Amino acid sequence: MTAVSQLTFDDLTLGYERHPAVHHLTGTVEAGALLAVIGPNGAGKSTLLRAIAGILPPLAGTIARNGLDPRDIAYLPQIAEIDRSFPIPVFDFVSTGLWRTRGAFGRIGEAERGRIGHALSAVGLNGFERRGIGTLSGGQTQRMLFARMLLQDASVIVLDEPFNAIDSKTVEDLFALVAHWHGEGRTIVVALHDLDLVRARFPQTLLLARTPVAWGATAQVLTADNMLAARRMCEAFDDHAAACAAPSRAA
Amino acid sequence: MIVDALFSPFAEFEFMRRALVGVFALALGGAPIGVLLLLRRMSLVGDAMAHAILPGAAIGFLVSGLNLFAMTFGGLIAGFSVAILAGLVTRDTELREDATLAAFYLISLALGVAIVSIRGTNIDLLHVLFGDVLAMDGATLMVIAFNATLTLVVLAVIWRPLVVECVDPLFLRAVSRAGAPVHLVFLALVVVNLVNGFQALGTLLAVGLMVLPAGIARFWSRDITAMLAVAVAAAAASGYAGLVLSFHTRVPAGPAIILVAAALYFLSLVFGRAGGLWSRLFPAPHLEA
């Protein structure tokens, strides 16, 4: 069986106001892959994930999603822009994960309520249904976001540092969900900093430092040489940088 | 005796009955919009929009005198233009919505007052600025009722994306393209309800029956559905009590209604169950778990 490439980056350059944050990335993520994206702060991890989710258009190059609409990709941003003071119960918030099937008008019937209940118990939020979202702790909020993602039932899942500032028990529970999704053959891309977790659980790793440093099997990517190389890449934009001379096909 | 004071104005005078029905219709349409303005942190935007409708209404006045249809129509056009222009400027430039609207509303207010003054008297200007809820005729009442109905129907249609756009705008953007159109439709509803309130309360107070009930509701509930109910009830109660107050005193009806709403607001601020000052100053003992 030959693997299908779910995400294909072709000479992809991403950035803000012409400054590249991800520079000349080429490669493929196979369908069903569990890929860790690592690198120092400012390496372009979040930028790459935003582009995969279709929120950030490329400066140059292309992302092919194997025919998938970007809106069918489940994307968890690093800092969710949730208005936690909004008076809405957890149950209603999580139900928005059904958007792609229920849309703006679809009825949330008995079957859907059942699915929402299942998603809430899968993340360990039983009994929180009627609580306001503002009353949840950081870890509980993350569990709630995972519950919504469960309902999205997406074939490609993109998580931006989902385990930051989360206790080990919650990380364990939430990673169990990621592993479960992996088992179901979904394609999962996760940006994170916890190298132990990457070594233990992620078969594939992309080490990014604006330009891709290494991409492949985790053991071969996480070498001392590669890590040193990544750290050396400068973080700051140069305001006077010249236009990139590398041959690039326009987007 | 007291019963007499509370009911006889409406039993005896038709203009009081009309005014009562008018403020109830305003409460039904305006209060839910006010709650959403509050939750979207747009209360002051609503205030700014209220001034933005003035030049349109003034041009209507210039063309056909104190004709409420012409003034409503002009107000709608001016309000929509400013809402859409401000929305576009906000989306496409780095200027934030509050700054954009502040600029537009100052221009509109100056323009509106200038236009009314050219043709009319100071009394006309007062009417435009503060409205006259007791002077509404049957046709005006129908317009107000129609607008309130329209508001409720459109709100029901755009409810889900509107709420999701408030709670988690990035998520809505990821799953749907409804965000931008829903925002514009909501701004349009704000304009419709301001023009509605404009008839009764004038351009300066129209937003009062939207924003104050929403503030009241916030102090009584942490659930959006309950907030809507509280806000509509508070707005309707303010309307009724304001009319009674105005009937028995020399206070004009518009300010009386808003002052009653303000009194309810301060009561809620102190005694509200959801974060009122009283519960903060004298907290009940904490629970075991």
pLDDT tens-digit map of B65-110: 666 677 778 888 888 888 778 777 777 777 777 787 788 888 888 8
Chain B residues contacting A via beta carbons under 8 Å:
39, 157-158, 160-161, 163-164, 166-171, 173-176, 178, 221-224, 227
Whether B176 and A104 lie within 8 Å, measured CB to CB:
yes
- Closest CB from A73, A80, A99 relative to B176: A99
CB pairs under 8 A between A and B: 64
Whether A87 and B224 lie within 8 Å, measured CB to CB:
yes
Domain positions in chain B: 2-272
Whether B170 and A105 lie within 8 Å, measured CB to CB:
no
Contact (CB, 8 A) for A24 and A248: yes
Helix (H) or strand (E) holding A208: strand A204-209
Which residue of chain A has the CA closest to B219? A87
3-state secondary structure of A156: strand
pLDDT tens-digit map of B112-165: 888 888 877 777 777 777 778 888 888 888 888 999 999 999 999 999 999 998
* CA B46 remoteness from chain centre: 7
pLDDT tens-digit map of B227-286: 999 999 999 999 999 999 999 998 888 899 999 999 999 999 999 888 888 888 888 777
Nearest one of B195, B201, B196, B200 to B52, comparing CA atoms: B195
Contact (CB, 8 A) for A175 and A201: yes
CA A34 to each of CA A18, A155, A156, A221, B224: distance values in angstroms, whole numbers, following the listed order: 31, 12, 10, 15, 39
Q: Is B24 exposed, middle or buried (0-12, 13-18, 19+ CB in 10 A)?
A: middle
Which residue of chain A has the CA closest to B158? A104
For domain B2-272, the CATH class is mainly alpha
Mean per-residue pLDDT over chain A, rounded: 86
- Closest CB from A53, A103, A133 relative to B174: A53
- What is the predicted pLDDT for the residue at B81? 85
| Gap between the Cα atoms of A93 and A2, Å rounded | 40
pLDDT tens-digit map of B2-40: 788 888 888 888 889 999 999 999 999 999 999 999 998
Whether A133 and B167 lie within 8 Å, measured CB to CB:
yes
Question: Would you tell me how many other CB atoms lie within 10 Å of the CB of residue B188?
Answer: 18
| Gap between the Cα atoms of B52 and B75, Å rounded | 8
Instruction: State the helix-helix crossing angle for B14-39 and B2-12, rounded to 10 degrees.
Output: 100
**Would you say residue A237 has pLDDT above 70?**
no
Instruction: Please tell me the pTM assigned to this model.
Output: 0.83
A133: contact with B, CB 8 A cutoff: yes
Q: Mark B41-50 as b/e (b = at least 16 C-beta within 10 Å).
A: ebbebbbbbb
A95: contact with B, CB 8 A cutoff: no
Residue range B204-231: average pLDDT?
92
Q: What is the nearest CA distance from B49 to chain A, expressed in angstroms? A: 23
Using a CB-CB cut-off of 8 Å, the residues of chain A touching B160 are: 96, 104-105
Question: Would you tell me how many other CB atoms lie within 10 Å of the CB of residue A229?
Answer: 15
Nearest one of B17, B19, B27, B20 to B151, comparing CA atoms: B27
